[in-house]
A and B are shown apart, each in its own frame.
Chain A
Amino acid sequence: MNYEDKLQNVSVLGAAGKMGSGILLLTAIEMADLQLKPENQSKTFALNAIDVSPAALSGLFLYLKAQVRKIAEKKMVALRTVYKDRKDLIENGEIIDQYIDDVLKIVHTSTSIESTYNSGLIFEAIIENSDLKVKLITQILENNNNDPWFFTNTSSVPINELDTKANINGKILGFHFYNPPAVQRLVEIIAWEKTNKDLIEFAQAYAKKLRKTLVPSNDKAGFIGNGHFMRDILFGLKQAESLFDKMSFAEAFYAVNRISQDFMIRPMGIFQLMDYVGQDVCQKIMIVMRPRLNEDSLHSDLIDQLNSQDVKGGQNSDGSQKAGILFYEKGQPTAVYDPNKKDYVKIADFKEKVDNMLGALPSLHKPWKAVVGNKGKDQILSDYFNELKAMDTLGSQLTKDYVINSKNIGLKLVTDGVTEKEDHVNTVMLMGFFHAYGPINNYFN
């Protein structure tokens, strides 16, 4: 089966979710571009957007429309060629409107799993629940006569487990986008020994068309991305607890969030990142990883507590950040949740005190934004960490510990066989998490 044929009828499960909607968008664009080729005029391309929430599905079209417009605006030069024979479409605006229509008419929303039964390719982007994934895949396989392929966006469940339990016979591949899929260039690709090679070949072609960079991960729960991120979270939580003798709960969490952002020159602090991903998602990922890796430490009572108190983070439908362990105003953390008080404590009330306890940033500090795209960032970072290394403040000590631990997590991923290459760990953290430097570095040798 060739590339175009495989994309003629596609389904996305969990299409209205954070990841599903992005996967749907990118796939809709790719399918529409195929449909618009003169030689494909007689073919019909269909993309089924399936989700359990009718309300979310209706909002999905608004999201798609806005995103397709942005994409069309960026590729206007090419679109004028695509529509060169349409004499009625003269202006860019007219062509963009037509392109939006052409993309959207491929997408069919549904709350019913039956919509997948004619698909040759199914993207699975539902919640991180292995049993539910297996159940849905099994049901589809029983009813779909097209020998479908499954691309799962799971960020934690081993592919061999899904393959074996749902009896897919190698026709499933881990194809893990990073959030948001429309923006992030990284995709982790996870195969196991029985994975059909045709899927890998197709995935490579599809990723190339989407301008994604594929990084292979071995089939170990959590893969590279969450393998690092979950352990990084747990270290942050532990570091915050270690400060309880000096600070209150809220102060300690503010301190570590600041260490893991400002001092470490990362795009956001570790607790803000947890909120961005969602406390519930973090919990589910650890639930998957802990037994499968036989690693008891992959668990946090605090995360359980936050979820039981409905403090979950995540995003609102307009993309703004929901309150989690931190509370946000205009996208910036302004308070810290104290689960014992079941209330938020304003950062402004203790910021000065904690900042003084941490000490000043090194004089060579530059914010993440000024470093990440800077061609001279290697030297900037090396000079910065050298200065920090020589400092004797609480902030510098916490930073050293955090950076060293982050490196150790990266090295563990290699020794545990999640990947063979240190470079892969660094690439995932650089591209998937927008870090300015890879965790496996020599700053504190």
Chain B
Amino acid sequence: MRKKIYMAAGYNTVSLGTGRKEFHPKKPRPGIEHYIKEAGQGTLKMINGAKNVDEGVIGNFMASRFVKQAHLGAFLPIIDEGLKYKPSLRVEGACGSGGLSLITGIKSVLSDSADVVLSMGVEVQNSVKAIYGADILAGAGWYNERKDGHAYFFPGQFSNRAGAYYEKFGREKARKGLATWFKNAIENARLCETAQEHTNKTSDLIALGLTEPSPKSFTDHLNVFDCSKVSDGASAIAIMSEEGLAKTGVPISEAVEVIGFSLKVNNITEQPKDLTVLDTVKEAAKEALSNAGITINDLATIEVHDCFTIAGVLMVEALGLAKHGEGADYVANGNTARTGKIPMNTTGGLIGWGHPTGATGVHQAVTIWEQLTGIAGKAQIEIPSDRPYGMTVNMGGDDKTIVAIVYKKTS
């Protein structure tokens, strides 16, 4: 890194959708403007106002179809009049759009073109029923493959990955690992007030996670509990230089330092060589850790892109925490739980907290910022003094666009 980069002043709206008490599919809900405004204002408040912002980036996947709204960059001034005439753009990389928003902000600060970037992500998906939402989200894949794809396209893609994993390494132990991932996600979400599954009261989460998949109505190898939520929500965070911290008056102790990052893409028109491996995640994580000068074992916590439980398990392996084929056991043995070796997704991840697609990458950063600065409330985990690091891995499509970022506690 040619200069120090910090993140601070994170803010998450509620992740709204099934599971939240205030959600009713047939009743009016807040629009995308509401979420942009709430998250943006949340962060502005912590950095002493819009005057300190040099530019804005909004990560968003498919507002043009979900809510028939494109041109999101120009929504920045609705957050605050003071943002009018400032640079702002929208970035897109499917469910990795939030990560791209962070990367864009980091690069702006690195290039000296900005000291303070308001990085945001937003998505409103409950505007259509899930069966039509599946069409929209399928845009994260190659259009030429849509015709032969599953009705629920992405659940279908990851069901194929799960099927391959079951076949290669054993179904029973794999399902156990996936059910444990689900259990951890819900238990962590219960500790976070903005999480979609915050009030989930199911007593036997493993039994629920082990529900047999129903190929007739859903996919061959995954059940609905293996899937992330359909969510409306936004997240925001300020990306700053040292000068930016000084300008906004944010004490360094309330920020995290970005010490490594990586953005990798894979060919969207090609099928994975091995369905049981997330190659691009592997590459991006390796590069981000190498840039940061640390190893995976130095991390205190990781936020991974568990759009499906199988993605969580495959990420564990791609990050090198478990050998190929042993990720399910690694999870089932409690290593990724909040009290385990390496707590993951401590506010629930995409399955427990929610997955407003374009916002997820930013939400992950906000969670790591909360954990490393000790303000995660009930969801707070212990950050060992010899491992003051966190990492986020945000994924667009089926292992196609990956953003990995490594963070360091500042005090």
Residues of A within 8 A of B (CB): 73-80, 84, 87, 90-93, 96
| C-alpha spacing A87/B218, complex, angstroms | 23
- Count contacts between A and B, CB distance < 8 Å: 33
Contact B151 A76 (CB under 8 A): yes
Question: Does B203 belong to the interface (CB within 8 Å)?
Answer: no
| C-alpha spacing A73/B132, complex, angstroms | 9
Interface string of B121-142 (1 = CB under 8 A from A): 0000000010110110010000
Contact B216 A92 (CB under 8 A): no
Q: Which of B147, B151, B215 contacts A87 (CB 8 A)?
A: B147
Instruction: List 29 contacting pairs A-B, 8 Å CB cutoff, sorted by A.
Output: A73-B129, A73-B131, A74-B217, A75-B217, A76-B151, A77-B150, A77-B151, A77-B152, A77-B215, A77-B217, A77-B218, A78-B216, A80-B150, A80-B151, A84-B148, A87-B147, A90-B143, A90-B146, A90-B147, A91-B135, A91-B138, A91-B146, A92-B131, A92-B134, A92-B135, A92-B151, A93-B132, A93-B135, A96-B131
Q: Lowest 8 CB-CB distances: which A-B pairs, in order?
A: A76-B151, A91-B135, A77-B151, A73-B131, A92-B135, A80-B151, A90-B147, A90-B146
Which single residue of chain A is at the shortest CB-CB distance from B216? A77
Interface string of B143-164 (1 = CB under 8 A from A): 1001110111000000000000
7 further A-B contacts with Cβ under 8 Å, apart from A77-B218, A80-B151, A92-B151, are A77-B216, A79-B151, A87-B147, A90-B146, A91-B135, A92-B132, A93-B135
| C-alpha spacing A187/B52, complex, angstroms | 70
CB-defined contacts of A77 to chain B, threshold 8 Å: 150-152, 215-218
Residues of B within 8 A of A (CB): 129, 131-132, 134-135, 138, 143, 146-148, 150-152, 215-218
CB-defined contacts of B150 to chain A, threshold 8 Å: 77, 80
| C-alpha spacing A220/B69, complex, angstroms | 62
CB-defined contacts of B218 to chain A, threshold 8 Å: 77
| C-alpha spacing A76/B151, complex, angstroms | 6
CB-defined contacts of A92 to chain B, threshold 8 Å: 131-132, 134-135, 151
CB-defined contacts of A76 to chain B, threshold 8 Å: 131, 151
Which single residue of chain B is at the shortest CB-CB distance from A87? B147
- Output the least CB separation between A80 and chain B (Å): 5
CB-defined contacts of B131 to chain A, threshold 8 Å: 73, 76, 92, 96
CB-defined contacts of A93 to chain B, threshold 8 Å: 132, 135
CB-defined contacts of B135 to chain A, threshold 8 Å: 91-93
| C-alpha spacing A92/B215, complex, angstroms | 17
| C-alpha spacing A60/B21, complex, angstroms | 36
CB-defined contacts of A80 to chain B, threshold 8 Å: 150-151
CB-defined contacts of A90 to chain B, threshold 8 Å: 143, 146-147
CB-defined contacts of A75 to chain B, threshold 8 Å: 217
| C-alpha spacing A230/B143, complex, angstroms | 59
| C-alpha spacing A79/B134, complex, angstroms | 15
CB-defined contacts of B146 to chain A, threshold 8 Å: 90-91
| C-alpha spacing A90/B138, complex, angstroms | 11
- Output the least CB separation between A169 and chain B (Å): 41
CB-defined contacts of A87 to chain B, threshold 8 Å: 147
CB-defined contacts of B138 to chain A, threshold 8 Å: 91
CB-defined contacts of A91 to chain B, threshold 8 Å: 135, 138, 146
Which single residue of chain A is at the shortest CB-CB distance from B218? A77
CB-defined contacts of B152 to chain A, threshold 8 Å: 77
| C-alpha spacing A249/B217, complex, angstroms | 51
- Output the least CB separation between B180 and chain A (Å): 24
| C-alpha spacing A96/B130, complex, angstroms | 13
- Output the least CB separation between A262 and chain B (Å): 25
- Output the least CB separation between B156 and chain A (Å): 9
CB-defined contacts of B147 to chain A, threshold 8 Å: 87, 90
Which single residue of chain A is at the shortest CB-CB distance from B132? A93
CB-defined contacts of B151 to chain A, threshold 8 Å: 76-77, 79-80, 92
Which single residue of chain A is at the shortest CB-CB distance from B151? A76
- The CB with the most chain B CB atoms within 10 A, among A80, A84, A87, A96, is that of A80
CB-defined contacts of B215 to chain A, threshold 8 Å: 77
| C-alpha spacing A87/B144, complex, angstroms | 11
- Output the least CB separation between A226 and chain B (Å): 34
